[in-house]
Structures are given as C-alpha cells and as structure tokens.
Amino acid sequence: MGEIIKGQHLRLKLGSKYIAFAQECTVHVSKSLENSSTKDDADGMWAKQEVTGKAWDFSASALYSVETDATGHNAEDALDIVLADQKVWVEFQRTGGTKNREDATSSNMYCGWAWVNDISINAGNRANANYSIQGTGDGPLTKNGEQPSVSDI
C-alpha cells in the first residue's frame, strides 16, 4: 500500500507565497464533452463522446490573519491579489518544513496561470474570522511546469 498524504501537506501557492493559515484547498479540473454518436455506429445503442474543451479552477479557505510572513499570504494579501486584476501563477503541491510552507523536493506540482476572481471574508461573533478565495485557470494546468519569466508572457 502506498503512502497516504495528509491534507496539511497539500498546499496552494499564489505567486511566490503559500496561502497562510489555510484550512482547506481544492483544485478542480474538468472536460467538456459532446455527443459524437451517428447513425452509422455499429451498435447504435451507446453514446460516443468527444472532448471539446478543458478547464480548471481552484479555491482555498484560511483563517483571517494580518501577520507578515515571507512564506505565506495573509488575508490582506489575498484581497490585494483579487483587486489587482492581474493573473497569478498558481501551484498545487505537497509541502513540508516549517509551517508546511516549503516545497517538497520529491513531489509533483500542478501549476498554471489563473485569474483570482473571488474573495469572501466571514467574521462571525466570537468566532475566528476566515476568508475564502477562488480563481479560474487561464490556459493549461501542467504537471511540474516552471513559471515563465515576465518577458515570456
């Protein structure tokens, strides 16, 4: 049986920093399918599908913090990313080290450019404040790709 990875060791990184105080994160990949069945198909009974497109998106939720940290985005950083109206390089990967914010050298990484298009902040009475952030991929999600330099964009 293989190694089971715990959730705290999978993180989202926006640009050069991880989402700090993260509670959960998700990367979602989907394909668009179109029925390509014809009257000429041999059995005529089963539908055939053709891939017509692919898309990906991500989301994360975290505790609201304004702590300044060189390795993690705080809640105000996340809000600034949404307001900047710029694409950001996103990485989803296994992590380790202090605060689980160091790249794990032996793990695969899934990455690509995305628009961060939604942030929601929740501050309930006598509860920890938290926020959630969501984005939509702009182009492919690749395995172990490297972030292109600004001149390559």
Instruction: List per-residue pLDDT tens for the chain, 153 residues long.
Output: 677 877 887 889 998 888 989 999 999 999 999 998 888 877 777 888 999 999 999 999 999 988 877 888 888 998 999 999 989 999 998 877 777 777 666 678 899 999 999 999 999 999 999 999 999 999 999 998 776 654 444
Please report the pLDDT score of residue 153 as a whole number: 44
What tokens does 10 get?
Answer: 């999978």
Domain ranges across the chain: 11-30+51-152
Average pLDDT value over all residues in the chain = 86
Beta bridge partners of 72: 18
- pTM of the entire predicted model: 0.81
At position 153, the amino acid (one-letter code) is I
Alpha-carbon distance of 7 to 12, in angstroms, equals: 11
Please report the pLDDT score of residue 152 as a whole number: 47
Beta strands per DSSP E along 17-153:
17-19, 22-35, 49-63, 72-73, 87-96, 102-103, 109-122, 130-137, 142-143
Please report the pLDDT score of residue 149 as a whole number: 58
Topology annotation, domain 11-30+51-152: Pnp Oxidase; Chain A (2.30.110)
Beta bridge partners of 105: none
